[in-house]
């Protein structure tokens, strides 16, 4: 999977360089601020693509003594650089376009610009779609961020084309700068989102959406020997996930029996979420008779109280550091 991601990123970088040349050619022909907006965005695409390629290559390296959890965190750093570059490009676009609102420049050969920019926009959007889809499948923030970036680039190009078309028919020079300012603001917003997500990863911020998905999967595939799960946390290292939780099994289980139940959980999560994960689990013994009330193990020979009700696992009660059934 990692090799496929690296191969895809190499293709993206190569195409980004070609599209960069296409867009600057369009700007030289038209002298349009809106086209320049797209061209500057393409510089960001190339630089971010190179950073992304480097991060994927580094993240694919195996764990070593200096990096016992692997090198996956580099993907968050790469995404933060990409988000910052997008923000800077958006601010530069807004600044130049605001200046040209008051001091407009002559725009020419709009038809040629529309054709070239349309071609680049379609290619960008298609590349972005493929990248985001692959990134979600392989849990790669670098590919997801890059894919979203290219798709937003495609949408901004579509808006730019609307502006150029209006300019062509209405002949109002301010339309060019106004469109550029609008999409400069949109680019800033996209850069902020990518930067925010990458910082969250670097700071190990809780991914509630991921946790909710994992907890729902465990609840749906729950087995009688899985009496309780609590204090669950997850840390992302690029495409790798490190889970930490307390897992309660019958108190008379041997170490091997408890480990077998844990392996079932790992298999289920990998099957439903297609992740590369590592589990750090503290296996707890159940506490009869209190926990007998929430235990559905019908063949338990050590039961000391009747079953009363099942605790439905959800985000709120699974992340708490307290066994269920002791209240």
Per-residue pLDDT of the chain (327 residues; tens, 9 = 90+): 677 888 888 998 999 899 899 989 988 888 887 787 778 778 878 888 888 888 888 878 888 888 877 787 888 888 888 788 888 878 887 887 788 788 776 777 778 878 888 888 899 899 999 998 888 887 777 888 788 878 877 877 777 787 778 777 887 778 877 877 887 888 888 889 888 888 888 887 778 888 999 999 999 999 999 999 999 998 877 667 888 999 999 999 999 999 999 999 989 988 887 666 788 899 999 999 999 999 999 999 899 999 999 999 999 999 998 888 766
Domain check: are 157 and 296 in the same one? no
- Cα distance between residue 79 and residue 98, in whole Å: 29
Quote the tokens at residue 146: 């890059």
Q: Say what the pLDDT of residue 327 is.
A: 67
Domain check: are 140 and 6 in the same one? yes
Q: Say what the pLDDT of residue 76 is.
A: 84
Q: Say what the pLDDT of residue 71 is.
A: 80
Domain check: are 258 and 164 in the same one? no
Q: What is the CATH number of the domain that holds 246?
A: 3.30.70.1350
Among candidates 86, 79, 113, 285, which has minimal Cα distance to 202?
79
Domain check: are 188 and 233 in the same one? no
Domain check: are 32 and 166 in the same one? yes
Q: What order do you get walking across the sheet with 228-237 strand by strand? A: 228-237, 240-249, 276-285
Q: Say what the pLDDT of residue 94 is.
A: 86
Last residue of a domain, one of 181, 202, 223: 202
**289 preceded by cis ω (within 30°)?**
yes
Domain count, the chain: 2
Q: What is the CATH number of the domain that holds 162?
A: 1.20.1510.10
For residue 295, the enclosing domain spans 208-318
Give the number of other Cβ atoms within 10 Å of residue 209's Cβ.
9
212 phi and psi angles, rounded to 5 deg: -60, -40
Last residue of a domain, one of 202, 234, 252: 202
Q: Say what the pLDDT of residue 274 is.
A: 63
Domain check: are 218 and 295 in the same one? yes
Domain check: are 129 and 239 in the same one? no
235 torsion bin: left (phi>0), alpha (psi -120 to 50), beta (else): beta
Q: Say what the pLDDT of residue 250 is.
A: 95
Domain check: are 213 and 246 in the same one? yes
Q: Say what the pLDDT of residue 238 is.
A: 67
How large is the greatest C-alpha to C-alpha distance in the chain, in angstroms?
88
Domain check: are 121 and 261 in the same one? no
Last residue of a domain, one of 177, 202, 227: 202
CB 144 within 8 A of CB 52: no
Give, for 222, the enclosing helix (H) or strand (E).
none
Cβ-based neighbours of 207, under 8 Å, separated by 6 or more: 200, 234, 236
Domain check: are 153 and 21 in the same one? yes
Q: Say what the pLDDT of residue 258 is.
A: 93
Domain check: are 73 and 143 in the same one? yes
Domain check: are 121 and 267 in the same one? no
- Cα distance between residue 190 and residue 81, in whole Å: 13
CB 15 within 8 A of CB 134: no
Quote the tokens at residue 263: 């392996």
């Amino acid at each position: 999977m990692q090799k496929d991601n690296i191969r895809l990123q190499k293709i993206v970088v190569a195409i980004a360089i070609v599209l960069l040349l296409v867009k600057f050619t369009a700007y030289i022909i038209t002298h349009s601020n809106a086209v320049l907006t797209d061209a500057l965005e393409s510089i960001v695409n190339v630089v971010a693509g190179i950073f992304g390629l480097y991060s994927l290559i580094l993240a694919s390296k195996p764990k070593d003594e200096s990096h016992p959890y692997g090198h996956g965190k580099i993907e968050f750093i790469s995404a933060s650089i990409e988000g910052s570059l997008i923000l800077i490009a958006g601010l530069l676009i807004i600044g130049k376009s605001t200046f040209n609102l008051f001091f407009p420049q002559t725009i020419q050969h709009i038809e040629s610009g529309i054709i070239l920019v349309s071609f680049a926009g379609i290619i960008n959007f298609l590349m972005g779609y493929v990248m985001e889809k692959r990134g979600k499948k392989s849990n790669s923030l670098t590919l997801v961020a890059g894919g979203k970036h290219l798709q937003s680039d495609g949408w901004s190009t579509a808006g730019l084309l609307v502006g150029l078309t209006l300019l062509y028919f209405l002949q109002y020079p301010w339309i060019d700068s106004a469109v550029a300012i609008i999409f400069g603001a949109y680019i800033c917003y996209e850069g902020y989102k990518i930067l925010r997500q990458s910082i969250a990863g670097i700071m190990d911020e809780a991914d509630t959406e991921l946790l909710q998905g994992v907890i729902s999967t465990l609840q749906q595939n729950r087995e009688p020997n899985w009496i309780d799960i609590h204090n669950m946390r997850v840390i992302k290292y690029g495409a790798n996930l490190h889970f930490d939780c307390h897992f309660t099994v019958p108190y008379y289980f041997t170490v091997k029996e408890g480990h077998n139940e844990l392996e079932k959980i790992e298999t289920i999560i990998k099957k439903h979420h297609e992740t590369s994960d590592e589990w750090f689990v503290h296996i707890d013994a159940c506490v009869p008779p209190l926990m007998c009330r929430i235990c559905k193990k019908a063949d338990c020979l050590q039961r000391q109280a009747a079953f009363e009700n099942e605790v439905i696992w959800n985000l709120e009660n699974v992340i708490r550091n307290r066994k269920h059934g002791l209240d």
